[in-house]
């Protein structure tokens, strides 16, 4: 127990929290955009795991992490394209298709992994961290917060970008209208299907990127079901955040800390069953839902396909 509050332990805990929260942050930001536009994107888990797979494969063969991230984003968008076609353009049920995509791509990536890597289990070399000068010299906090891969800082930057899009741009207005009253957007002369499709594609790209980070930087390896519900946690984050990107960041950090805690507690050899420790992040989800869930307000047309002139 003495090791629990040592500097090393705290540093590792915080470092792990950041690493664990980045995929959640990206997934949450992506889901938030879909939901703003009125699409409940349950398929995000499928987008994430396919992004993790394509990202890992690309990074493994090209030996470039950035190509891996690009491939991850593209992989997520491939799944998003199916979602956009079936749910936005054809108006099928978003929950059913979302679950289908998640299960389908979990299975597909597990199968591909079995044929390609199940004998070798190849690993990627540890990712190169971008060390921020001065800040990284702060004791404990410095190494934990400011010695990460460049993508981590970009993900935090994405929070600001999203906030700007929602509050300051025409596209942000269109998104909100598509989610709250799509018919009004349509008669104002904006294509609802296109607006929602763009949102779903963006979700796919962000979720795929998050998946690729999870596999390439977080774990350094792809294994079946590696996302382990991170996409669904993204859905929870988006719902709790009430349209604010900064709240997604906050929520992602809380969950990331819980995830990191499970690892850290096991490493520290705390005398508690592993199963109980692994429950912590999900208990945190329930706790946050209890605390904030009641006040969450969702777009009025969330989950309802738009059909022009329907009466």
Partner 1 sequence: MSQASREIPAAGPPIVELEGVTKRFPGVTANDSVSLAIRPGEVHVLLGENGAGKSTLIGMLSGLQQPDEGRIKVDGQPVVIRSPRHALSLGIGTVFQHAMLVPTLTVAENLLLGGPWWQRPRKDALRAEVDALAGSLGMKVDLDSIAAELSLGEQQQVEILRALLRNSRILILDESTSMLTPAGIEELGGLMRRLVERGLAIVFITHKLREAARFGDRITVLKLGRKVGEVAPDRFRSLDEDALIADVVEMMFGRRSGDPEETARQTHVVEAGARPLLSVKNLRLKPGATSPGLQSISFDLHAGELLGIAGIDGNGQKQLAEVLAGQIASEGGSVLLDGAPVERLSVGARRDAGLRYLSDDRLGEGTVGSFPITLNLLLKQIGQPPYWRGGFERNSEIERHAVEKIRDYDVRTPSERTPIGRLSGGNIQKVLLARELADGAKVVIFNKPTYGLDLANTLATRDRIREIAARGKGVLLISTDLEELLQLCDRIAVMAGGALVGTVENEPGARAQVGRLMIGVAA
| Integer Cα distance of 46 and 110 in angstroms | 12
Please, which residue, 259 or 301, has the CB nearer to partner 1? 301
Q: Is 54:75 a contact under the CB 8 Å cutoff?
A: yes
DSSP 293: G
The secondary structure of 1-68 as a DSSP string is: -GGGGSHHHHHHHHHHHHHHHHHHHHHHHHHHHHHHTT---TTHHHHHHHHHHHHHHHHHHH--HHHH
Q: Is 188 in the site for partner 1 (CB under 8 A)?
A: yes
Q: Is 162:25 a contact under the CB 8 Å cutoff?
A: no
The secondary structure of 252-291 as a DSSP string is: HHHHHHHHHHHHHHHHTT-SS-HHHHHTHHHHHHHHHHHH
Q: Is 169 in the site for partner 1 (CB under 8 A)?
A: yes
Please, which residue, 114 or 308, has the CB nearer to partner 1? 308
Q: Is 184 in the site for partner 1 (CB under 8 A)?
A: yes
Site string for partner 1, 242-281 (x = CB under 8 A): ----------------------------------------
Please, which residue, 182 or 204, has the CB nearer to partner 1? 182
Smallest gap from residue 193 Cβ to partner 1 (A): 11
Smallest gap from residue 176 Cβ to partner 1 (A): 6
Of the residues 129, 154, 191, 224, which one makes contact with partner 1 according to CB under 8 A: 191
Of the residues 156, 183, 219, 288, which one makes contact with partner 1 according to CB under 8 A: 183
Please, which residue, 132 or 165, has the CB nearer to partner 1? 165
Please name which of 255, 249, 144, 162 lies closest in space to residue 205, comparing C-alpha atoms.
Answer: 162
Of the residues 173, 219, 288, 298, which one makes contact with partner 1 according to CB under 8 A: 173
Please, which residue, 195 or 262, has the CB nearer to partner 1? 195
Q: Is 184:177 a contact under the CB 8 Å cutoff?
A: yes
- Tokens standing for residue 288: 């946050």
The window from 25-33, 39-47, 134-142, 182-190 that contacts partner 1 (CB under 8 A) reads 182-190
Q: Is 154 in the site for partner 1 (CB under 8 A)?
A: no
Smallest gap from residue 87 Cβ to partner 1 (A): 21
Smallest gap from residue 34 Cβ to partner 1 (A): 17
Please, which residue, 166 or 222, has the CB nearer to partner 1? 166
Q: Which helix (H) or strand (E) holds 148?
A: strand 147-148
Q: Is residue 118 classed as helix, strand or coil in its secondary structure? A: coil
- Separation of CA 311 from chain center: 36
Other Cβ atoms less than 10 A from the Cβ of 61: the count is 11
Of the residues 129, 180, 223, 304, which one makes contact with partner 1 according to CB under 8 A: 180
Size of the site for partner 1 (CB under 8 A): 22
Residues forming the site for partner 1 (CB under 8 A): 168-171, 173-174, 176-177, 180-181, 183-191, 300, 308-309
């Amino acid at each position: 127990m003495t090791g629990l509050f040592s500097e090393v332990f705290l540093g590792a805990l915080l470092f792990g929290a950041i690493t664990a929260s980045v995929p959640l942050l990206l997934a949450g930001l992506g889901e938030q955009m879909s939901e703003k536009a009125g699409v409940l994107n349950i398929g995000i888990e499928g987008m994430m795991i396919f992004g993790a797979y394509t990202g890992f494969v690309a990074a493994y063969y090209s030996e470039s992490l950035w190509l891996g991230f690009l491939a991850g984003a593209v992989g997520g968008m491939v799944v998003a394209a199916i979602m956009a076609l079936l749910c936005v353009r054809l108006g099928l049920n978003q929950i059913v298709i979302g679950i289908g995509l998640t299960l389908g791509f979990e299975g597909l990536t597990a199968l591909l992994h079995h044929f390609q890597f199940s004998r070798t289990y190849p690993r990627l070399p540890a990712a190169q961290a971008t060390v921020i000068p001065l800040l990284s010299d702060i004791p404990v906090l410095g190494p934990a917060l400011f010695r990460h891969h460049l993508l981590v800082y970009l993900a935090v930057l994405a929070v600001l970008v999203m906030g700007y899009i929602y509050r300051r741009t025409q596209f942000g207005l269109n998104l909100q209208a598509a989610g709250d009253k799509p018919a009004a957007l349509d008669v104002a002369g904006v294509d609802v299907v296109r607006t929602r499709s763009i949102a779903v594609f963006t979700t796919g790209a962000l979720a795929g990127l998050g998946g690729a980070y999870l596999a390439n930087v977080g774990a350094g390896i792809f294994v079946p079901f590696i996302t382990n519900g991170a996409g669904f946690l993204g859905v929870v984050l988006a719902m709790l955040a009430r349209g604010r990107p900064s709240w997604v960041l906050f929520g992602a950090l809380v969950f990331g800390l819980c995830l990191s805690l499970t690892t850290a507690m096991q490493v520290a050899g705390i005398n508690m069953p592993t199963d109980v420790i692994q429950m912590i992040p999900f208990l945190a989800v329930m706790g946050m839902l209890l605390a904030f869930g009641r006040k969450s307000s969702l777009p009025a047309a969330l989950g309802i396909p738009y059909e022009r002139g329907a009466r």
